[in-house]
Amino acid sequence: MAKSKSLSLDRRRFLKSAAMGAAAGATALVTSTPDAATQATAPTAAGQRGADARAGAGAPLADPTPEQLARETGGAVPPAIPPRTVVRPGSDLMVDALKSVGIQFVMANPGSSFEGLQESIINHGRNDIEFITALHEESAVAAAHGYAKAEGKPMATLLHGTIGVQHAAMAIYNAYVDRVPIVMIAGLDYEGPVAAHNATDMGAIVRGFTKWDAQPRTLEDAIGAIQRAYQIAITPPTAPVLVTMTGEIQKEETVGRAISVPPFRPPQMPAADYLATKRIARALVDAANPRINVGRLRTPAGVRLAIELVELLGAQAGSAATSGPMSFPMSHPMRGNGVAGVPVDFTLSLETGGAGGGGGRGSGVTGTGALGNAAPASGARGRGGRGTTEASVPAGAFASAVILSPGLLATNFNIGGRGGGAGSLNGLAIEADAESSLPGIIEEVKSLLTADKRRLVADRARKNEEAHVTQRTAEWAQSIEQARRGWDGSPVSLGRLHAELWPLIKNEDVCLSGPNGFTGGHSTRLFNIDKPYSYLGSQGAGGMGYGAPATVGAGLAAKKAGNGRIVVNIQTDGDLNYAPGVLWTMAHHRLPILTVMHNNRGWHQERMYMQFMAGVRNRGTDRMGIGTSLMDPNIDYAKMAQAYGMYAEGPIADPKELAGAYTRAMDRVKRGEPALVDVITQPR
Amino acid sequence: MALMVQLTVVSRAQTPTAAVVPANASNGKAVYLAHQCWACHGYNGETGTRLLQEDGTFTPRLLTASGFTAFIRAPRPDQAPPTGSTLSMPSYGMASLPNQQAAELFAYIKTFRPTQPALKDIPLLEQMIREGGRVKK
């Protein structure tokens, strides 16, 4: 304390002496002598030294002035120098444009080409459009892919110049083939430090598998491009779109300019025309035993409409829900193949569904053929009845109709390989958005349902329901029998891996995010697939590294729902290792995700392909683990997850340990955080 | 995971005319692991493309050693190999799997016993059956 006091006193004395010096200087300034004039132009430090010397010689110390004290204590007001700030940067308006279309999440790893936009999202937008931190651009786009499939609407991603766009390319391709809308913004900074990050035509890198791209030159165009991009992305066929934003227009000042974000106008979706609507409704009502195959629709609203139409008609319904989202509930009483032996006399197919996108192989529409299951009427082939009249094609003269998003009937959406339609177009083929076509069909059906027809519908619905209970009871028994195989074996069978989850999730609102193609298909057999987001389906183009990041998107949708929805992802090991940083994103953003590792320690399908190849060449299969195994050393996924900040258990090879581990992990998930259980599994 | 240790004990010296010693199931286990038969058939023949049927008996291919050997030599004797990727059964010629090893492999596979209890002895699956899953009545 003594030392402190001493220091304090010394400081006071210093201030007094400084004040004396200043006073002496001031006196000198007002003295009109030649000496004084000289002193006024001399360095003040000399005068200060002289004053100090006099003060030190015993002159009384004056108190500091209020200005001096203010300066000394930090209360001084700095001189009024205009700050070099941008008050209303262009990127603020870009954020406003993103808000205008309803974007709620943007995911990216940082890049200097969009620093202006990122700053605006966080500060101008107050992070209302929540910035989700990615560790890889591919993860960001794949997350947006999963989000769109869970929500039926796009989120946004930011990509850093040429390098970010190329990192993202595989995920963009998956989303394109899967017909999933994503709004992507690429930064382009001509002033940036690395010229190689720039391109004259940024969109060219991924133009082969994006639906639309733009590189606006002005801020006004940029705002319009964001709204236009969103419109195009959500208009069938839905797909990713890209807008390239230069750093220049992100950072330009807009104060004093009459520029604003116009209200967003949602696009008019292409619906079946009036004539086609009437013909389909008439055929449905006149059919003795109609069937409606529901593929993947655009949004949850479309699923509700499909249910309404099916119930209105008491029709049997096919579902693509075990292939992907936005299809007919698997537990609905009308879902099934109807009464055995009673032929279907009219089939309406709504879009295609499931894996492969593009309407190619295995449209995912179950049951009778999606297209042309009966002889066509003359002139019925075509697009939405174009070139035909109601009189030339009598109602009921065709036995099937399909409504497919524009572009899918003929072009397969620019994806090569298998054709665009499932089978020949023998029925009435309508190029339109099925979801938007349903309201018209429903209204028309209602107008045609007489009292007699309604009695027939009620009778048909009752018979279908009874038949479907029988069918689904058999399905359920078969699913459980499949889950029983190798029940007590070690490593853990895939059937048991799934079945042990059942008691924990049977009463939960669950989204199954990962593809079931490599996990034995148990998830879509054993768990409820009754909501538009119950199962999100496959990668689209089969690009690995999709499941884990798509789960992030599903997790965002679940967290946003705020009703306790959880995400369960049966995660293959090969897929996770493409970009495992998504585990950190799950932990950082507190996403309610249970990840269960299907850890068979290899790229198992590829191993089997290699074995067959070696057999054909009679060279032996004993070295086919080379290049297909993830052994030596084994990867510890629990430790990996823990390193990223997530609760995790495992590896577990004894099936008896599963229930406990799942319970503990699920407890975390229900509290709103991710958890992982690493399970060593049978290969298949 | 001792089962997953890669083994490389397969001899290539045997010829079709060599004397075949009695099959040794332990040697067969080494063959099963080294040739990664578990990739399709699981570590106990119960999962994937099963060797054990639901009633615990073996599939018809495994009724006799000679039938088994004939099958693995030519799983599709009348068909050309597909040109696309396939998960079909590979063929094992004499050069890659001599008769002795094929016999030992057969002997090992025949030691498999089902690990799956009867449905009535798995309370969880019994509960699932009772509650009906997606069967809504």
* pLDDT tens-digit map of A278-322: 999 999 999 999 999 999 999 999 999 999 999 999 999 999 999
Which residues in chain B are contacts of A483 at CB distance < 8 A? Answer: 125
Q: In the structure, what pLDDT confidence band is assigned to residue A7 with cuts at 50, 70 and 90?
A: very low
- pTM flag (> 0.90): no
Residues A182 and A155: beta-carbon distance below 8 Å = yes
Half-sphere exposure of A260 (CA within 13 A, CB side): 4
CA dist A130 and B6 (Å) reads 48
Q: Quick check: helix, strand or coil at residue A310?
A: helix
Which residues in chain A are contacts of B40 at CB distance < 8 A? Answer: 608, 611, 683-684
Residue A54, CA distances (Å) to A27, A43, A453, A557, A634 in order? 14, 18, 116, 77, 82
Q: In the structure, what pLDDT confidence band is assigned to residue A10 with cuts at 50, 70 and 90?
A: low
Judged on CB neighbours under 10 Å (0-12, 13-18, 19+), B22 is exposed
Residue A483: which of B4, B125, B131 has the nearest Cβ? B125
Cα maximum dimension of chain A: 124
CB proximity under 8 Å: A 246-285 to B: none
Residue A486: which of B42, B89, B91 has the nearest Cβ? B42
Q: Which residue from A minimizes the CA distance to B119?
A: A484
Which residues in chain B are contacts of A506 at CB distance < 8 A? Answer: 131
Q: Can you tell me the mean pLDDT for B2-7?
A: 38
Residues A118 and A95: beta-carbon distance below 8 Å = no
For chain A, say whether B4 makes contact (Cβ under 8 Å).
yes
For B58-111, what is each residue's pLDDT tens digit?
A: 999 999 999 999 999 988 887 777 777 778 899 999 999 999 999 999 999 999
Residues A661 and A677: beta-carbon distance below 8 Å = yes
Residue A485: which of B3, B47, B129 has the nearest Cβ? B47
Query: Which of A388, A367, A364 is closest to A376 using CA atoms?
Result: A388
A206 or A400, which is more confident? A206
Query: Which of A504, A533, A500, A535 is closest to A517 using CA atoms?
Result: A535
For chain B, say whether A621 makes contact (Cβ under 8 Å).
yes
A63 DSSP assignment: P
Q: In the structure, what pLDDT confidence band is assigned to residue A668 with cuts at 50, 70 and 90?
A: very high
Answer yes or no: do A486 and B116 touch at CB < 8 A. Answer: yes
Mean pLDDT lowest among A201-215, A295-309, A614-628: A614-628
Which residues in chain B are contacts of A615 at CB distance < 8 A? Answer: 89-92, 96
pLDDT of residue A536: 98
Q: Which of A462, A493, A629 to mutate to test the interface with B (most CBs of B within 10 A)?
A: A493
A–B CB contacts, 8 A cutoff, strictly below = 170
Q: Which residue from A minimizes the CA distance to B88?
A: A612
For chain B, say whether A487 makes contact (Cβ under 8 Å).
yes
Answer yes or no: do A331 and B95 touch at CB < 8 A. Answer: no
A40 or A217, which is more confident? A217
Number of Cβ atoms within 10 Å of the Cβ of A677: 29
Residue B85 C-alpha, separation from nearest chain A C-alpha, in angstroms: 6
Which residues in chain A are contacts of B130 at CB distance < 8 A? Answer: none
For chain A, say whether B6 makes contact (Cβ under 8 Å).
yes
Cβ-proximal residues to A389 (8 Å cutoff; 6+ apart), any chain? A275
A495 or A381, which is more confident? A495
Cβ-proximal residues to A320 (8 Å cutoff; 6+ apart), any chain? A293, A294, A295, A296, A327, A328, A352, A353, A354, A363, A364, A365, A366
CA dist A558 and A158 (Å) reads 22
Cβ-proximal residues to B10 (8 Å cutoff; 6+ apart), any chain? A620, A622, B30, B31, B34, B35, B97, B101
pLDDT of residue A83: 66
For chain B, say whether A604 makes contact (Cβ under 8 Å).
yes
Q: In the structure, what pLDDT confidence band is assigned to residue A397 with cuts at 50, 70 and 90?
A: low
Q: Which of A469, A475, A617, A682 to mutate to test the interface with B (most CBs of B within 10 A)?
A: A682
Residue A625 has pLDDT above 60, yes or no: yes
pLDDT of residue A77: 72
Query: Which of A623, A643, A637 is closest to A676 using CA atoms?
Result: A637
For A402-420, what is each residue's pLDDT tens digit?
A: 898 877 655 444 444 433 3
Torsional sign, CA A601, A607, A611, A612: positive
Q: Regarding the domain delimited by B2-131, which CATH topology (the fold level of the hierarchy) does it fall under?
A: Cytochrome Bc1 Complex; Chain D, domain 2 (1.10.760)
For chain B, say whether A394 makes contact (Cβ under 8 Å).
no
Q: Can you tell me the mean pLDDT for A353-381?
A: 31
For A51-86, what is each residue's pLDDT tens digit?
A: 444 444 455 677 878 777 777 777 777 667 666 799
Cβ-proximal residues to A321 (8 Å cutoff; 6+ apart), any chain? A327, A328, A329, A330, A524, A529, A530, A534, A535
Residue B64 C-alpha, separation from nearest chain A C-alpha, in angstroms: 22
pLDDT of residue A425: 54
Residues A423 and A406: beta-carbon distance below 8 Å = no
Residue A648 has pLDDT above 90, yes or no: yes
Q: Which residue from B minimizes the CA distance to A684?
A: B48
CB proximity under 8 Å: A 500-519 to B: 500, 502-503, 506
Fill in the amino acid letter for A137.
E
Question: How many Å is the Cα radius of gyration of chain A?
Answer: 34
Does the predicted interface ipTM exceed a cut of 0.95? no
pLDDT of residue A417: 41
CB proximity under 8 Å: B 35-64 to A: 35-36, 38-40, 42-44, 46-50, 54
Residue A319 C-alpha, separation from nearest chain B C-alpha, in angstroms: 14
Considering chain A, what is the average pLDDT of its residues? Answer: 85
Answer yes or no: do B86 and A614 touch at CB < 8 A. Answer: no
Mean pLDDT lowest among A361-375, A645-659, B75-89: A361-375
Q: Can you tell me the mean pLDDT for A501-524?
A: 95
The DSSP annotation for A181-215 comes to: -EEEEEEE-TTSS-GGG--TTGGGGTGGG-SEEE-
Q: Quick check: helix, strand or coil at residue A602?
A: strand
Residue spans of the domains in chain B: they are: 2-131
Q: Which of A612, A626, A630, A681 to mutate to test the interface with B (most CBs of B within 10 A)?
A: A612
Answer yes or no: do A331 and B134 touch at CB < 8 A. Answer: yes
Q: Which residue from B minimizes the CA distance to A620?
A: B96
Residue A484, CA distances (Å) to A471, A519, A597, B69 in order? 20, 15, 20, 30
Which residues in chain B are contacts of A607 at CB distance < 8 A? Answer: 36, 39
Q: Which of A468, A472, A484, A518 to mutate to test the interface with B (most CBs of B within 10 A)?
A: A484
**Strands A647-652 and A182-188, bridge-based pairing:** unpaired
Residue A609 C-alpha, separation from nearest chain B C-alpha, in angstroms: 6
Task: Please give the share of chain A, as a percent, with pLDDT higher than 70.
Answer: 81
pLDDT of residue A445: 98
Residues A500 and A568: beta-carbon distance below 8 Å = no
